[in-house]
């Protein structure tokens, strides 16, 4: 029975790890319960006399150790440098674009919080629309957005969509800043990323994120953030660009 108990507790611990929900009280209860069962097992092991050895209880020891592992592993996870963490992958089915938006909202956007950095060279009006849909219901999680694009798809339609989107975010207490990659960086930068301070994902273009047959995978958040900040420092603010009717930037 102890083994069953421990496996169940271990499963709960894994869920906590994935969801990053680590209640100290719950972990303490789990650790105390596992330690108590371990002590009782030792008493049974020695038949209350500490003079014999009953090998059938080895599975109980395994169970208790599994439970203790589930209780204390989150501490080791929390101690791991955030820059070394990788996010869990998300599979996208191109045949279910509508369902994919719900999936991405729940499994991608709910894992992000605070300051969100987005690197999407082909960011355009459709990208704004999809991003807006992904944010619905998650607005309270975010403080600001930093978006990097190459500007090739900017024009009047994009400008109107961006200003409307910016006003809506500001009404929710969220700021957004858009910059255009330096020409040299735009030529060499093809990877698309979204990240917060803890996790980073490699993503398809936002304008087809729900239709692209491409898995969303975690990448090293520290490296992704450093790369983004380097590009951001050389980029030009959207408001400082001269954009003509055809969308060309100067």
Ordered by start, the domain boundaries in the chain are: 2-79, 84-240
What mean pLDDT do residues 183-191 have?
A: 91
Distance between CA atoms of residues 128 and 137, nearest Å? 16
In tens, the pLDDT along 9-44 reads 555 555 554 444 445 566 666 667 666 766 666 666
Residue that has been written with the tokens 């440098």 in this structure:
81
Distance between CA atoms of residues 70 and 13, nearest Å? 5
The structure tokens listed for 132 are 């807006």
Q: Nearest 10 degrees: CA dihedral of 220, 225, 228, 233?
A: -150
| pTM more than 0.85 | no
Q: Of residues 153 and 32, which shows the higher confidence score? A: 153
Which residue, 102, 196, 98, is CA-closest to 141? 196
Distance between CA atoms of residues 205 and 122, nearest Å? 7
Q: Of residues 129 and 17, which shows the higher confidence score? A: 129
What mean pLDDT do residues 188-210 have?
A: 93
pLDDT of 68 reads 60
Mean model confidence pLDDT for the chain: 78
Confidence of residue 148 (pLDDT cuts 50, 70, 90): very high
The CATH architecture to which 84-240 belongs is: 2-Layer Sandwich (3.30)
Q: Nearest 10 degrees: CA dihedral of 203, 205, 206, 207?
A: -150
What mean pLDDT do residues 171-183 have?
A: 96
Confidence of residue 82 (pLDDT cuts 50, 70, 90): very low
Strand runs labelled E in 141-185 = 142-149, 175-180
pLDDT of 52 reads 46
pLDDT greater than 60 at residue 248: no
pLDDT of 227 reads 95
What are the φ/ψ torsions at residue 119 (nearest 5 degrees)? -115, 105
What mean pLDDT do residues 193-212 have?
A: 93
What mean pLDDT do residues 97-104 have?
A: 91
The structure tokens listed for 101 are 């938006």
């Amino acid at each position: 029975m102890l083994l069953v108990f421990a496996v169940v507790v271990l499963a709960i611990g894994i869920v906590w790890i994935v969801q990053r929900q680590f209640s100290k009280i719950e972990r303490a209860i789990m650790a105390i319960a596992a330690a108590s069962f371990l002590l009782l097992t030792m008493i049974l092991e020695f038949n209350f006399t500490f003079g014999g050895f009953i090998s059938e209880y080895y599975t109980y020891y395994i169970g208790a150790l599994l439970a203790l592992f589930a209780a204390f592993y989150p501490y080791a996870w929390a101690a791991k440098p955030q820059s070394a963490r990788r996010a869990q992958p998300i599979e996208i089915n191109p045949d279910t674009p509508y369902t994919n938006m719900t999936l991405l909202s729940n499994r991608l956007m709910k894992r992000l919080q605070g300051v969100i950095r987005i690197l999407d060279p082909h960011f355009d009006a459709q990208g704004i629309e999809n991003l807006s849909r992904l944010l619905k219901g998650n607005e309270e999680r975010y403080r600001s957005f930093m978006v990097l694009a190459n500007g090739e798809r900017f024009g009047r339609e994009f400008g109107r969509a961006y200003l409307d989107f910016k006003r809506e975010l500001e009404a929710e207490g969220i700021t957004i800043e858009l910059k255009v990659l330096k020409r040299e960086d735009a030529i060499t930068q093809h990877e698309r990323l979204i990240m917060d301070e803890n996790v980073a994902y490699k993503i398809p273009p936002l304008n087809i994120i729900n239709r692209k047959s491409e898995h969303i995978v975690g990448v090293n958040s520290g490296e992704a953030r450093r790369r983004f900040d380097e590009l951001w420092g050389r980029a030009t603010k959207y408001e400082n660009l001269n954009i003509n009717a055809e969308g060309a930037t100067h």
